[in-house]
């Protein structure tokens, strides 16, 4: 099956659903004209179809391997990455003063979506470098920016982030890596890091590691953590590469999926590092990378969902199995796509891909508006949407990939079809960059420290749209309005809880309920933008609103139950 980049879908979303016109109207992003957007999306689509998609199976069948201390990547990956870098795509949203294009994050989000759909293992590499670029842009001194940003933006060098240690996963404050001042402005970094995606490769250039470590006088917990730039090769003042640094890849992790992406155990043995930002302020800089990554990981989920959906649709359209209800009738194909349950699965996949993609792009638009205007409202909106985009995008990727296996039937369990690879590759996305449970806890705690102000602002926006839709399409507008009221009541309950554990107990179903309602909102906007009175987008919106939106009721009923019943069974009773 040939992958088809959903360029027209991004164009429609930008023009009619996620308010990208506001971004293009700012002085900062005035160059993001419709012609420019169309040209960027078209070229990225061609790259994903012609370069990345043919590498998808290579990454799974010819995985990265460690040979004599050198990471050898999957067949064709080095050439695929070079095509990406030579096109200037690493710097799509990077600062123009260091060689980037300075275009909106929304376009980079579309790029990451299409690369993830075509080959997630390789598409993960640019995502990490993009995050490091943003961290350096916000926190590094001018000398470090001038030395590293042009190389990273060109794709000549790549970046990583090193947080996790064997004893310190989500609890970053438990890390033990050390940083000793050397007296010359540099630091000796020692320690071991695990789960370092693309910690090394054979693409050439330098691999620039952003490493969290503790100074000798550091306070315990996250308050005592600093961030350091520790390159694979030392960098001379003119930007040329010097001697190898004192670091190495100990081993590659053996993973469920993403076999083409080398996930490294890294060891630093007095490696030379340079401070990024201020001493003991490393978490602020690292969170710049992580927040960038959280949105992009959600987008990875959406991208894989797109790839899995296209594979399932192609298979269902070709596979003939028994007599179908549309046999010999107009529109009938004689293939399993005519069966009601197969049609239900495919429609669910398509509807949820649209909903999760719209949420992610709406978040990206908010980030662009925050950058262009500096307005606090856009900052709060982006912060609120980020955990929803990450969690719902990855949950969608997992569910759509699993449904794709079901559409394939027994052939989905056979590796030769490639259907199982989507499921294996996407599974980690709900775990890394903060598990989805952590995203949900962040949503109901930190993101509601404003008393729910941003949540209520979004609900008011959705209800305004639903009220406008009532006259033209009441069967769609009314259910969205009612769902928003139910979500408002659940939000009021969340805000009223003084015991955060009661919020946490229902945080994941609350997040999923909020995402369901947002999905209904964006489907409704799509239907309202359609010229036809009952066109394909309206029919897809009707499917989502009638069949999937009602799930918000069960999610939100669970969300407001509190924590008591979770602890009613003791650990001993759970073990009985």
284 vs 391, which has greater pLDDT?
A: 391
pLDDT interval class at 172 (50, 70, 90): confident
Query: Is residue 498 domain-shared with residue 467, that is, in the same domain?
Result: yes
CA dist., res. 131 & res. 93, Å (int): 11
pLDDT (tens digit per residue) in 22-48: 999 999 999 999 999 999 999 999 999
Assigned token pair, 568: 């009613």
Query: Is residue 47 domain-shared with residue 181, that is, in the same domain?
Result: no
- What DSSP letter does each residue of 370-424 carry, written as one string? HHHH--HHHHHHHHHHHHHHHHHHHHHHHHHHHHHHHHHGGGGGSGGGSHHHHHH
- Segment 476-485 mean pLDDT: 98
- What DSSP letter does each residue of 293-333 carry, written as one string? HHHHHHHHHHHHHHHHHHHHHHHHHH---S--TTTTSTT--
Query: Is residue 112 domain-shared with residue 233, that is, in the same domain?
Result: no
- Of the candidate ranges 248-262, 324-338, 523-537, 548-562, the one whose mean pLDDT is the lowest: 324-338
- pLDDT at residue 498, as a whole number: 93
Query: Is residue 81 domain-shared with residue 140, that is, in the same domain?
Result: yes
pLDDT (tens digit per residue) in 298-339: 999 999 999 999 999 999 999 998 888 888 788 788 899 999
CA dist., res. 41 & res. 34, Å (int): 10
DSSP class of residue 184 equals S
HEC letters along 409-431: HHHHHCHHHCHHHHHHHHHHHHC
- Of the candidate ranges 128-142, 345-359, 545-559, the one whose mean pLDDT is the lowest: 128-142
pLDDT interval class at 179 (50, 70, 90): very high
Residue 189 lies in a domain: yes
Assigned token pair, 256: 């469920």
Residue 406 lies in a domain: no
Query: Is residue 90 domain-shared with residue 217, that is, in the same domain?
Result: no
CATH number for 17: 1.10.540.10
Residue 252 lies in a domain: yes
Top-ranked range on mean pLDDT: pick from 73-77, 169-173, 288-292, 321-325: 73-77
CATH number for 242: 2.40.110.20
122 vs 285, which has greater pLDDT?
A: 122
* Domain coverage including residue 127: 7-152
pLDDT above 70 (res 150) = yes
- pLDDT at residue 327, as a whole number: 81
pLDDT above 80 (res 286) = no
Looking at 123, 152, 181, the residue that finishes a domain is: 152
DSSP class of residue 222 equals G
pLDDT interval class at 258 (50, 70, 90): very high
Residue 478 lies in a domain: yes
Assigned token pair, 93: 């949203």
Looking at 251, 270, 285, the residue that finishes a domain is: 285
CA angle 132, 21, 456 (to 5 degrees): 80
CA dist., res. 92 & res. 130, Å (int): 9
Residue 574 lies in a domain: yes
Query: Is residue 187 domain-shared with residue 117, that is, in the same domain?
Result: no
Residue 419 lies in a domain: no
Measured over the CA atoms of residue 98, residue 100, residue 105 and residue 110, the dihedral's sign is negative
Residue 191 · residue 176 · CB < 8 Å: yes
pLDDT above 90 (res 139) = yes
Assigned token pair, 414: 């056979």
Residue 480 · residue 360 · CB < 8 Å: no
pLDDT above 90 (res 234) = yes
Residue 38 lies in a domain: yes
Catalytic annotation, pick one of 306, 433, 463, 530 = 433
- pLDDT at residue 532, as a whole number: 79
Query: Is residue 113 domain-shared with residue 33, that is, in the same domain?
Result: yes
- Segment 177-193 mean pLDDT: 96
Query: Is residue 162 domain-shared with residue 96, that is, in the same domain?
Result: no
pLDDT above 90 (res 249) = yes
- pLDDT at residue 326, as a whole number: 85
Question: Which of 409, 379, 362, 393 minimizes the C-alpha distance to 293?
Answer: 393
pLDDT interval class at 76 (50, 70, 90): very high
Tell me the percentage of the chain whose pLDDT exceeds 90: 89
- pLDDT at residue 322, as a whole number: 83
Assigned token pair, 344: 């239900």
Query: Is residue 140 domain-shared with residue 175, that is, in the same domain?
Result: no
The radius of gyration of the chain's CA atoms, rounded to the nearest angstrom, is 24
CA dist., res. 453 & res. 43, Å (int): 40
Residue 138 · residue 128 · CB < 8 Å: no
Beta-strand runs (E) in 215-288: 225-231, 233-235, 241-244, 247-252, 263-276
DSSP class of residue 218 equals P
Tell me the percentage of the chain whose pLDDT exceeds 70: 100
CB neighbour class for 241 (10 Å; exposed up to 12, middle 13-18, buried from 19): middle
pLDDT interval class at 1 (50, 70, 90): low
321 vs 497, which has greater pLDDT?
A: 497
pLDDT (tens digit per residue) in 86-123: 999 999 999 999 999 999 999 999 999 999 999 999 99
Query: Is residue 14 domain-shared with residue 147, that is, in the same domain?
Result: yes
Residue 32 · residue 25 · CB < 8 Å: no
Contacts of 110 (CB under 8 A, 6+ apart): 10, 40, 41, 44, 361
Bridge partners of 230, per DSSP, are 209
Query: Is residue 121 domain-shared with residue 201, that is, in the same domain?
Result: no
Helix axes 419-426, 376-408, angle to 10 degrees: 140
pLDDT (tens digit per residue) in 391-450: 999 999 999 999 999 999 999 999 999 999 999 999 999 999 899 999 999 999 999 999
Assigned token pair, 150: 């042009």
Looking at 227, 259, 285, the residue that finishes a domain is: 285
Query: Is residue 115 domain-shared with residue 170, that is, in the same domain?
Result: no
CA dist., res. 351 & res. 332, Å (int): 22
- Segment 207-226 mean pLDDT: 92
Q: What is the largest CA-CA distance in the chain?
A: 82
292 vs 275, which has greater pLDDT?
A: 275
Q: Report the number of distinct structural domains present in the chain.
A: 3
pLDDT above 90 (res 124) = yes
pLDDT (tens digit per residue) in 200-212: 999 999 999 999 9
Phi/psi of residue 540, nearest 5 degrees = -70, -40
Is 180 a known active-site residue?
Answer: no
Residue 147 · residue 81 · CB < 8 Å: no
Q: What is the mean pLDDT of the chain?
A: 95
Residue 505 lies in a domain: yes
């Amino acid at each position: 099956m040939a992958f088809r980049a959903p360029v027209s879908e991004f164009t429609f979303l930008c023009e009619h659903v996620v308010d990208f016109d506001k971004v293009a109207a700012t002085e900062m992003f005035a160059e993001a004209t419709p012609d420019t957007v169309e040209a960027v999306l078209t070229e990225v689509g061609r790259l994903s179809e012609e370069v990345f998609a043919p590498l998808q199976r290579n990454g799974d069948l010819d995985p990265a391997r460690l040979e004599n201390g050198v990471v050898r990547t999957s067949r064709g990956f080095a050439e695929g990455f070079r095509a990406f870098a030579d096109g200037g795509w690493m710097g799509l949203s990077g600062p123009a003063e260091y060689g980037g294009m300075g275009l909106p994050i929304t376009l980079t989000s579309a790029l990451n979506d299409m690369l993830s759909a075509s080959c997630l293992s390789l598409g993960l590499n640019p995502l990490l470098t993009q995050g490091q670029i943003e961290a350096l842009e916000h926190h590094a001194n001018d000398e470090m920016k001038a030395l590293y940003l042009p190389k990273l933006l060109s794709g000549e060098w790549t970046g990583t982030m090193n947080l996790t240690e064997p004893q310190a996963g989500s609890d970053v404050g438990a890390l033990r890596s050390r940083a000793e001042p050397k007296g010359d402005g540099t630091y000796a970094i020692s320690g071991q890091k695990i789960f370092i995606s693309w910690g090394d490769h054979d693409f050439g250039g330098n691999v620039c590691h952003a490493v969290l470590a503790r100074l000798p006088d550091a306070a315990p917990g996250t308050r005592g953590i600093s961030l350091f730039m520790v390159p694979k090769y030392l960098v001379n003042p003119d930007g040329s590469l010097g001697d190898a640094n004192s670091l190495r890849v100990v081993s590659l992790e053996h993973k469920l999926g993403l076999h083409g992406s080398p996930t490294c155990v890294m060891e630093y043995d007095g490696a030379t590092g340079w401070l990024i930002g201020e001493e003991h302020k490393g978490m602020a800089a690292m969170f710049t990378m992580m927040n960038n990554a959280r949105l992009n990981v959600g987008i990875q989920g959406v991208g894989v969902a797109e790839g899995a959906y296209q594979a399932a649709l192609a298979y269902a359209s070709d596979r003939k199995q028994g007599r179908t209800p549309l046999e010999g009738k107009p529109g009938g194909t004689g293939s399993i796509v005519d069966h009601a349950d197969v049609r239900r699965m495919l429609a669910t996949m398509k509807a949820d891909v649209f909903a999760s993609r719209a949420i992610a792009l709406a978040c990206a638009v908010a980030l662009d508006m925050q950058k262009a205007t500096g307005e606090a409202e856009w900052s709060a909106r982006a912060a609120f949407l980020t955990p929803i985009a990450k969690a719902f995008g990855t949950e969608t990727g997992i569910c759509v990939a699993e449904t794709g296996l079901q559409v394939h039937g027994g052939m989905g369990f056979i590796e030769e079809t490639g259907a199982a690879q989507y499921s294996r590759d996407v599974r980690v996305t709900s775990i890394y960059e903060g598990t989805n449970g952590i995203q949900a806890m962040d949503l109901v705690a930190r993101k509601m420290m404003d008393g729910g102000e941003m949540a209520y602002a979004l609900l008011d926006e959705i209800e305004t749209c639903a009220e406008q839709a009532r006259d033209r399409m009441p069967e769609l507008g009314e259910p969205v309005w009612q769902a928003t009221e139910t979500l408002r009541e659940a939000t009021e309950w969340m805000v009223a809880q003084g015991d955060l554990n009661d919020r946490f107990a229902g945080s994941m179903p609350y997040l999923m309920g909020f995402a369901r309602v947002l999905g209904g909102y964006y489907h409704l906007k799509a239907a309202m933008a359609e010229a036809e009175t009952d066109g394909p987008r309206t029919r897809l919106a009707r499917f989502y609103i009638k069949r999937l939106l009602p799930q918000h009721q069960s999610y939100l009923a669970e969300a407001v139950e509190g924590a008591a019943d979770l602890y009613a069974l003791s650990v001993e009773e759970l073990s009985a």
